[in-house]
Amino acid sequence: MRLLLLLLFLFAAPVAAQADCTAGPAPAATANATSFETLAWAPYKRPETGWAIYANKIAAEIGTRCAADTPGFTAALARWQAANKLAPTGVFDLPGFAVMKTKWTLARPFARLMRGGACPEPPDASRLATASPAESYGGKSIQQRADALAAYRRMIASARASLPPGGDPNWFTIFSGFRLPLDDDVRCIIDNNCYGVVRANCSAHRTGLAFDLHVGAAAGFGPDSSDNSNRRFMTRTLAYRWLVSNAARFGFVNYVFEPWHWEWSPPSTSKATPGKTPA
């Protein structure tokens, strides 16, 4: 257990090496420790309890390695709140998360492509490339835009070189990539959910820039299950935490509701800053 905690620390958001997680407002830390497991809310239009699923992303956003129930976390959150013209209480709250969520959403390449209101057209077939069987989950045939696939390969090479051996061999494999609009139309009819959280009627996967990556799965769930317990499991894996800390260096941005969903920004449109997680 101590080794796991050490590894989680090492792959958390980069901040000052000597962060003091005991320095900060203790009452706010107590409030955060309580809401961490009990907050009743619906950040993505679906009821959730607690904000543990988003804790790693929030820590990256506010620039801390400290756990969410520590005074150090509250101090970092208070600084972030002040910088964003919010009351610097250090207490996690819905107005602050709304600001974060908006920033995270606007960082997504697909959100920028949709700003005009029209669903983007899929790329020409000549711009697509096929992932190797070793790169895809279960060895299935998956296509992506060639430049996006090249960026994915650079990122995953770095991840595999950085992470300790012995991890899940499925980590970072692609289980969904480019999908023709007709494929999504058929899927939404079969699933009887064309407009809800489960199935979008204009999917980012039509761009050839969206990757669904295996970042782990809880027992009894698949790598794309949006069950809250499965999402929480995913966000605690070294694979997901590495991506939160490093994916932006390679132009990738996460759709935060889905720990497995990452989108690549072509260099001409990327807003990412090397070494920082888009927020």
pLDDT of res. 181: 77
Integer angstrom CA distances of residue 182 from 34, 122, 203: 46, 11, 11
pLDDT tens-place string over residues 259-278: 999 999 987 644 433 333 33
pLDDT of res. 268: 61
Lowest-confidence region among 3-7, 202-206, 243-247: 3-7
Q: Report the chain's mean pLDDT, rounded to a whole number.
A: 87
pLDDT of res. 186: 55
Strand partners, 128: 145
* Range with top average pLDDT, 98-107, 110-119, 185-194: 98-107
pLDDT of res. 7: 52
Lowest-confidence region among 25-34, 188-197, 202-211, 228-237: 188-197
Numbered ranges of CATH 3.30.1380.10 in the chain: 119-264
**Residue 103: pLDDT over 50:** yes
Q: What is the C-alpha separation between 110 and 154, in angstroms, rounded?
A: 21
143: alpha, beta or left? (left if phi > 0; alpha if psi -120 to 50):
beta
Q: Which residues contact 204 (CB under 8 A, 6 or more apart)?
A: 108, 109, 110, 210, 255, 261, 263
Q: What is the C-alpha separation between 269 and 276, in angstroms, rounded?
A: 16
Q: Per-residue pLDDT averaged across 100-128, rounded?
A: 91
Q: What is the C-alpha separation between 14 and 20, in angstroms, rounded?
A: 14
pLDDT tens-place string over residues 149-208: 999 999 999 999 999 999 999 999 999 999 987 665 555 555 555 544 445 578 899 999
Number of alpha carbons in the 13 Å side-chain half-sphere of residue 95? 11
**Residue 86: pLDDT over 90:** yes
Pure H helices in the chain: 2-10, 26-38, 55-62, 71-83, 94-107, 109-113, 146-162, 181-191, 228-235, 238-246
pLDDT of res. 161: 97
Q: What is the C-alpha separation between 237 and 219, in angstroms, rounded?
A: 14
Predicted TM-score (pTM) of the model is 0.84
Confidence grade of residue 1 (pLDDT, cut at 50, 70, 90): very low
Architecture of domain 119-264: 2-Layer Sandwich (3.30)
Q: Per-residue pLDDT averaged across 96-111, rounded?
A: 95
